[in-house]
Amino acid sequence: MDRHKIFRLTAQSDSAAIAALDATGAIFTRRDEIELQLENLARIRTPERGRFADRADVIAEIVGDTPLDQYGVWVYYPWSGHLVHILDEPEFIEVRTAANRNKITPQEQARFADKTVGVLGLSVGNSIALTMALERTFGTIKLADFDELDISNLNRLRATVADLGVNKAELAARQIAELDPYLTVMVYEDGVDDLSIDAFFDDAPGLDLLVEECDMPFVKILAREHARTRGIPVLTEASDRGLLEIERFDLDPAYPLLGGLLGELSTELLEDADRDMQLAAMATMIGIDTISDRSAISAIELDTTLTTWPQLGSEVNHGGAVVASAARAIFLGHEVPSGRRHVDIPFGIAMAPLPDTLPTIGPPALRGTPDLTAVPTDIREILELAMRAPSGGNTQPWRFVLTGRVIDVAFAPETFSVPPLFNRKGTAGWVTLGTVTESIVVAARARNLSATVEYDPEGPDSLVYTRITVGDTGPRASAQERALGAALGTRCTQRTREQGRPLTDDERALLCGVVEDFTTTVWLGEDGKLKEAFGEGVAVANRLRVLIEEMNEETFSEFYFRQEEPRRRDGVPLETLSMTLPEQTMMRVLRRPAVARALRERGEATALLEYSREWIAKSSAVGAITVNTEARREFVEAGRAFLRLWLAASSIGVGVHPVTALLHETEMLAFPEGGLFTEDERGTLQTHTGALRDLLLDGNDAPLAVTFRIVAGPAMPEVEPAPRRPLSQHLEIVGEPA
């Protein structure tokens, strides 16, 4: 692009050049306000005379014998055709920076003239570059951006419709030249990549500071890697809640990129990343947990209802001021430590507080701390294995009342609560206590011990659901019983996204046959139409689970990030869900009730939790267990059957994954809590549950106890299992039986 040109009419060649431009019609307008500038200069040099005193003598002394039209320089701007008469460089700088004093002293201003700043990304970067140019806190600036100005940029970028189509770096260079033609501006119209970034940093003069404002995650990391290698500080402002990132690689070359926020992100991962990964990486870099609610909503809606990350002119201009101030302080040697901080705008679009996370649940209100050494070794080992039983949200809502070798399995809602909305009918808790009961039975039988189960020993309204008597001897365990016992210690949820293979006849026979002793019915289906219908229902239910405010709170009391609550011993760490970075980012956004509420009210986030649909589509089969009546003991028995099926599957390397959101939300419809759903949402849930019954249960209307998917083929993912509380928090010893 043509740069501006500076002419001095005292040089004959420059006079001829202006005449040639004039002859071709290249000069559209002439601006000659040299007298006004001389008046300003004279006033600055004689402040003691007062603002309105005559200074003709001072001006005459400054100009001397030079004709007024030859005094100073003429600057030609080829993009506008303007020819402008201004003071020569020293005097121009003297006048233009006069109002900086004493916030910036002349000595400091002189120091800035030797500094070189690089700006990557000239949307937000435009405001920063121009603000620094206004204060003249650099002598040279390097501007890099491959993008061109379009109309959507005009909500935040200082430009005009006459600038549409101009490269953004070139546009900023023109704006700086029109402000101060003596500043050195170097333009990199192709942006930077791994081939050109060395030139951006090292072309003379080398950078003293990098301002990174690009929207390509790969380049954001690449630039920081190069800055750290060279010991160059980096500043970034996110134009949301005044977020400023400072990385003082000049003081600490070992400082982690973005303060360690990147985690596993690297240039290798991002160079060829798809759009979803890039968006998630961007959200990670700006700090998805601390951005404003409205920006968080936008993170969900990009490429759905939005085409670009939202930015406001007020926030962008505020960011220009924040970065310019930080850069000035760094150049002056002030204490500017690395770190992330918010320099928020009063009355800006703020962030509602994140919901409080549940504290780690302490010991239950049992009668004292049990002495585990008083428990027979085999019983203690059996109960330790029972603590690994599955429960909704990993709430572990049980307690064991031990009397000799008799174990009462009791529901403990007062201490270990099951999510109330998803357990509105009570069936989730009943099924869970059944899985715990069966864990004890399987562990006992694998040890060649007898185990007899009594349901509701103190009545169907008691908190004691089952009573298990474990003998000190028993029949020799069969090969299958030993295999089931071994699976107790390895069973986990298979949440893989890999494609499962079809079940073999032997696998199908084992899964159905292992539960024949229970008064339940197991249904397995592998039809593509069934999986499509069920997958759609699961996706809808999971979407509602996070968008409906009351359910959102319940959901994120269960699901959490292990890195944030490393000592927590209940709930489900989101790291165990085999989610991609974009999906983890989405979950961080969705745990804000205000964001969820806004998305639901606006009918957005329609593509939410797409992986739910993928789970079902890639299953080998989907399944359900039904019971004959609504009696509690039937659901407890269904829980026993489900755990036995799960253990059998685990013993042959087949994965099981409970998928119950659609089931429990449909159950809610019969209770007052069903009022949380709109009529359309109620109808959608009923439609999908009806399709599941038609396609999997052949239209049977028997009560559903649990729904799940089965995946054969893929190996279990290598993730740390969900944590469990110690047995001592769930055990009560009441003495020997009468």
- Give the CA dihedral 222, 218, 236, 119, nearest 10 degrees: 70
Give 361-380 pLDDT, tens digit per residue: 333 344 467 888 889 999 99
Domain map of the chain by residue range? 5-96, 106-342, 372-489, 505-711
Higher pLDDT, 300 or 533: 533
Give 439-474 pLDDT, tens digit per residue: 999 999 999 999 999 999 999 999 999 999 999 999
Q: What is the pLDDT of residue 305?
A: 62
Question: Cβ atoms within 10 A of the Cβ of 301, count?
Answer: 17
Q: Looking at 128-142, 208-222, 638-652, which range is the least confident one?
A: 208-222
Give 8-32 pLDDT, tens digit per residue: 999 999 999 999 999 999 999 999 9
Proportion of the chain above pLDDT 90, given as a percent: 67
Q: What is the pLDDT of residue 363?
A: 36
C-alpha–C-alpha distance, residues 681 and 666, integer Å: 10
Higher pLDDT, 657 or 257: 657
Report the run of H or E that residue 76 belongs to, with start and end. Answer: strand 73-77
Q: What is the pLDDT of residue 176?
A: 97
Q: What is the pLDDT of residue 300?
A: 64
C-alpha–C-alpha distance, residues 442 and 486, integer Å: 9
pLDDT band at 153 (very low <50, low <70, confident <90, very high): confident
Per DSSP, the residues of 502-527 read PPPHHHHHHHHHTTTTSS-EEEEE--
Report the run of H or E that residue 626 belongs to, with start and end. Answer: strand 621-626
| Tokens standing for residue 74 | 């003429």
The arithmetic mean of pLDDT across residues 640-661, rounded, is 96
Give 551-576 pLDDT, tens digit per residue: 988 888 888 888 889 999 999 998 88
The arithmetic mean of pLDDT across residues 249-269, rounded, is 81
Equal fold, 106-342 vs 505-711: no
Q: What is the pLDDT of residue 738?
A: 43
Whether CATH 3.90.230.10 fits 372-489:
no
Report how far apart, in Å, the C-alpha atoms of 398 and of each of 251, 376, 419, 443 are: 54, 20, 14, 17
Report the run of H or E that residue 608 belongs to, with start and end. Answer: none
Higher pLDDT, 427 or 264: 427
| Tokens standing for residue 27 | 């000069």
Higher pLDDT, 657 or 562: 657
C-alpha–C-alpha distance, residues 508 and 529, integer Å: 19
Report the run of H or E that residue 376 belongs to, with start and end. Answer: none
Higher pLDDT, 103 or 696: 696
Higher pLDDT, 604 or 309: 604
Q: What is the pLDDT of residue 1?
A: 62
472: Cβ contacts below 8 Å, ≥ 6 apart: 378, 405, 449
Query: How many helices, marked H, and strands, marked E, lie in the chain?
Result: 25, 22
Which CATH number is associated with domain 505-711?
3.40.109
357: Cβ contacts below 8 Å, ≥ 6 apart: 557, 560, 564, 565
Q: What is the pLDDT of residue 314?
A: 86
The arithmetic mean of pLDDT across residues 201-207, rounded, is 96
pLDDT averaged over every residue in the chain: 89
Burial 226-252 (b: 16+ CB within 10 A, else e): bbbebebbbbbbbbbbbbbbbbbbbee
Whether residue 628 is preceded by a cis peptide bond, meaning omega within 30 degrees of 0, is no
C-alpha–C-alpha distance, residues 424 and 554, integer Å: 12
Q: Are 688 and 612 in contact (CB under 8 A)?
A: no
Instruction: Name the amino acid, one letter, at 387.
Output: M
Place of tokens 């431009």: 21
Q: Is the pLDDT of residue 675 over 90?
A: yes
Burial (CB < 10 A; 0-12, 13-18, 19+), residue 655, is buried
Whether CATH 3.40.50.720 fits 106-342:
yes
C-alpha–C-alpha distance, residues 112 and 137, integer Å: 5
The arithmetic mean of pLDDT across residues 410-419, rounded, is 74
Proportion of the chain above pLDDT 70, given as a percent: 89
Higher pLDDT, 592 or 111: 111
The arithmetic mean of pLDDT across residues 35-50, rounded, is 93
The arithmetic mean of pLDDT across residues 393-422, rounded, is 86
Q: Is the pLDDT of residue 149 over 50?
A: yes
Q: What is the pLDDT of residue 296?
A: 67
Q: pTM of the full predicted structure? A: 0.71
Q: Are 502 and 492 in contact (CB under 8 A)?
A: no
Q: What is the pLDDT of residue 436?
A: 98
Q: What is the pLDDT of residue 146?
A: 94
Q: Is the pLDDT of residue 401 over 90?
A: yes
Q: What is the pLDDT of residue 308?
A: 65
Give 419-444 pLDDT, tens digit per residue: 677 888 889 999 999 999 999 999 99
Report the run of H or E that residue 568 belongs to, with start and end. Answer: none
Task: Indicate the angle between helix axes 528-547 and 549-558, nearest 10 degrees.
Answer: 100
Helix then strand then coil, % of the chain, to nearest 5: 45, 15, 40
C-alpha–C-alpha distance, residues 398 and 438, integer Å: 13
Q: What is the pLDDT of residue 589?
A: 83
Q: How far apart are the first and last CA of the chain?
A: 97
The arithmetic mean of pLDDT across residues 682-708, rounded, is 95
The arithmetic mean of pLDDT across residues 159-180, rounded, is 94
Place of tokens 């991002």: 270
Report how far apart, in Å, the C-alpha atoms of 309 and of each of 273, 299, 304, 581, 589 are: 18, 8, 12, 18, 15
Q: What is the pLDDT of residue 360?
A: 35
pLDDT band at 357 (very low <50, low <70, confident <90, very high): very low
List helix spans (H) across 113-196.
Answer: 124-135, 168-179
Q: Is the pLDDT of residue 606 over 80?
A: no
Task: Give me the sign of the Cα torsion angle 634, 635, 638, 643.
Answer: negative
Q: Is the pLDDT of residue 723 over 50?
A: yes
Q: What is the pLDDT of residue 353?
A: 46
Q: Is the pLDDT of residue 163 over 50?
A: yes
Task: Indicate the angle between helix axes 679-696 and 661-668, nearest 10 degrees.
Answer: 130
